[in-house]
Chains A and B, each alone.
Chain A
Amino acid sequence: MSAGADGRGGAAVAAGRSFVVVRPGPLATLQDGGRRGVAALGVPRAGALDGPAYRWANALVGNGSTGGSGAAVVEATLGGLALRAAGGDAWVAVTGAPAPVRVGGRPAAWGAAVRVREGDLVEVGAVTAGLRCYLAVDGGFDVPPVLGSRSADLLSGLGPAPLAAGTALPLGTSTPDAGPLHTDWLPLPAPPGELLLGLAPGPRRDWFTADALNALARARYTVSPASNRVGLRLTDGPALARRAGLGELPSEGMVLGSVQVPPDGLPVVFLADHPTTGGYPVVGVVPEPDLAAAAQAAPGTPVRFVPVR
């Protein structure tokens, strides 16, 4: 039940540290900084939806900038995750949506590095607010990268499959920096009670009627339960009417944060697993820093757009 004397020793690493999935919860995937430079081949970027929470989870356990896509973590939607440490000890940290954390059956801190001994069960309970928890481990989860990233892409099925009970996730080599980052200040905002999203003008803004654009700037929508890693779907708000006589839009490239308007007129905000091209007009683009809050907006959360340049 124990590894090397200090838990960071070479013996533990040589034995092959891993975390075995005991319960994946509703949806848990591995995510890192995502894929870049391959959108032209039809490959979505993927990667952690809540960027700041992802980076803090890694920083807390001493995973510095490793270059490339960064260390892979577990993104657990709604929490409900349980992993057992095997082959050695580790440091873990849970950030993102607040959730009770237990290690070896005892309550442990959220938003801080926690020591995990070989054989310990690491449990992340149901989220108490927000949507997505991030669990980082020192050395990162070391599954084989695909196109430079260990992120699961749920649109096209690239990268590691969603976590399933019994799967052993190998851990990367612990670094000399592994261990708790000492900080008493964690800039992790609470999940939004109301989601305010900046909206820069999109390339097809002129496809919409003046009434639709006015409505978009004033309206309140709510986050639909049909939202996922591909997009934040909005409902309970005005359908945005297109100007008459424009026909079909030929497919064009899409960016993270694109607000695409399908024929039903209800906007969809594109998140990390969005398709690389699309044929519905983009009325606006949400700046990337605002998307972290979008990743934590549970179904039913009110949403408003705030025009920005």
Chain B
Amino acid sequence: MGARALLAEVGSDEEVAALLADLVRRQRAGELAAGLDLVPAARTVLVDGLVDARELAALSGWLEGWTPHRAPVDEGRLVEVETVYDGEDLAEVAALWGMSAAEAARCHAACTFRVAFCGFAPGFAYLTGLPESLAVPRRATPRTRVPAGSVALGGAYTGVYPGPSPGGWQLIGRTSLPLWQPDREPPALLAPGTRVRFVAVPA
């Protein structure tokens, strides 16, 4: 992808997690430059900031020899997100799933999620872990303002809005956890690779 970046494409979100974990390990071990940006997404990992053709060729060779595997499920920090399941779209999501709102909330809280990637806004995490059969469509008309802390579904992804913003995802609940604090390390509570469980709490 240009002279300074490589975009590696793999077969599934689990392989993205595994490739990212391997690249991060190599970076920590000093085999990859510390200044490289490793940007995971749905089916790809972007490596950006390569300084020259030699570095690019070396990484390209390593990527070609990389064997797809799944990331170990118990790897990564675990964050519990206390959530009030009272989102404006919870009833609609529950109807799509063929269950009551309470059952939909229990179903969502029973899954273990992983931050697949961030994007859209600083600290906005795309979480995988919901079965593909529970994927929901985006809202036909996006909301002009979604409150900070909204827990939402888009396709099979779960996301939590770090700040108020426009948004087209289905709102199922809310959390008061601060998701984005630029002076914290890391500034995003939900950085790629983090495991996440939603814990239902009363309003």
Chain A residues, Cβ within 8 Å of B191: 40-41
Q: Is A161 an interface position by the 8 A CB rule?
A: no
Given contacts A203-B1, A250-B43, contact A41 B122 (CB under 8 A): yes
Given contacts A40-B191, A277-B117, contact A287 B35 (CB under 8 A): no
Binary flags per residue of A206-222, CB closer than 8 Å to B gives 1, else 0: 00000000000000000
Interface size class of A (residues with CB under 8 A): 20 to 34
Chain B residues, Cβ within 8 Å of A247: none
B122–A156 CB distance below 8 A: yes
Closest chain-B Cβ to A281's Cβ sits at a distance in Å of 12
How long is the Cα–Cα vector from A255 to B42 in the complex, in angstroms?
Answer: 16
Stretch from A14-22, A31-39, A234-242 that touches the partner: A31-39
How long is the Cα–Cα vector from A158 to B35 in the complex, in angstroms?
Answer: 20
Give residues of chain B (166-197) contacting chain A, Cβ–Cβ below 8 Å: 182, 186-188, 191-192
A252 touches which of B3, B43, B124 (Cβ 8 Å): B43
Give chain A's interface secondary structure class. loop
B123–A285 CB distance below 8 A: no
Stretch from B44-52, B79-87, B145-153 that touches the partner: B44-52
Chain B residues, Cβ within 8 Å of A253: 5, 7, 39-41, 44-46, 48
Binary flags per residue of A34-55, CB closer than 8 Å to B gives 1, else 0: 0011111111000000000000
Q: Is B38 an interface position by the 8 A CB rule?
A: yes
Q: Is B4 an interface position by the 8 A CB rule?
A: yes
Q: Is B121 an interface position by the 8 A CB rule?
A: yes
B38–A40 CB distance below 8 A: yes
Q: Is B118 an interface position by the 8 A CB rule?
A: yes
Chain B residues, Cβ within 8 Å of A38: 37, 187
Closest chain-B Cβ to A30's Cβ sits at a distance in Å of 16
A40–B39 CB distance below 8 A: yes
Chain B residues, Cβ within 8 Å of A278: 119
Give chain B's interface secondary structure class. loop
Q: Is B61 an interface position by the 8 A CB rule?
A: no
Given contacts A39-B48, A41-B187, A200-B2, contact A252 B122 (CB under 8 A): no
A287–B3 CB distance below 8 A: yes
Chain A residues, Cβ within 8 Å of B188: 41-42
Give residues of chain A (127-152) contacting chain B, Cβ–Cβ below 8 Å: 146-147
How long is the Cα–Cα vector from A287 to B44 in the complex, in angstroms?
Answer: 22
Q: Is A251 an interface position by the 8 A CB rule?
A: yes
Chain A residues, Cβ within 8 Å of B62: none
Chain A residues, Cβ within 8 Å of B48: 39, 253, 255
Chain B residues, Cβ within 8 Å of A275: 119-120
Closest chain-B Cβ to A2's Cβ sits at a distance in Å of 38
Closest chain-A Cβ to B47's Cβ sits at a distance in Å of 9
Chain A residues, Cβ within 8 Å of B46: 39, 252-255
How long is the Cα–Cα vector from A200 to B182 in the complex, in angstroms?
Answer: 35
A276–B35 CB distance below 8 A: no
B4–A255 CB distance below 8 A: yes
Closest chain-B Cβ to A275's Cβ sits at a distance in Å of 7
Closest chain-A Cβ to B120's Cβ sits at a distance in Å of 6
How long is the Cα–Cα vector from A288 to B3 in the complex, in angstroms?
Answer: 9
A40 touches which of B37, B44, B121 (Cβ 8 Å): B37
Chain B residues, Cβ within 8 Å of A202: 1-2
B122 touches which of A42, A203, A287 (Cβ 8 Å): A42
Q: Is A257 an interface position by the 8 A CB rule?
A: yes
How long is the Cα–Cα vector from A160 to B120 in the complex, in angstroms?
Answer: 20
Chain A residues, Cβ within 8 Å of B34: 37
Given contacts A40-B38, A277-B41, contact A147 B7 (CB under 8 A): no
How long is the Cα–Cα vector from A285 to B118 in the complex, in angstroms?
Answer: 22
The residues of A with any CB-CB pair to B shorter than 8 Å are 36-43, 146-147, 156, 158, 200, 202-203, 250-255, 257-258, 275-278, 282, 285-288
Q: 29 interchain pairs (CB within 8 A)? A: A36-B35, A37-B35, A37-B37, A38-B187, A40-B38, A40-B40, A40-B192, A41-B118, A41-B122, A41-B187, A41-B192, A42-B122, A42-B123, A146-B182, A147-B187, A156-B122, A158-B182, A200-B3, A250-B41, A251-B126, A253-B39, A253-B48, A255-B46, A255-B48, A275-B120, A277-B39, A285-B1, A287-B2, A287-B3
The 7 A-B pairs with the shortest beta carbon distances in the complex, nearest first, are: A253-B46, A250-B42, A285-B2, A277-B119, A253-B39, A42-B118, A39-B37
The residues of B with any CB-CB pair to A shorter than 8 Å are 1-5, 7, 9, 34-46, 48-49, 117-124, 126, 182, 186-188, 191-192
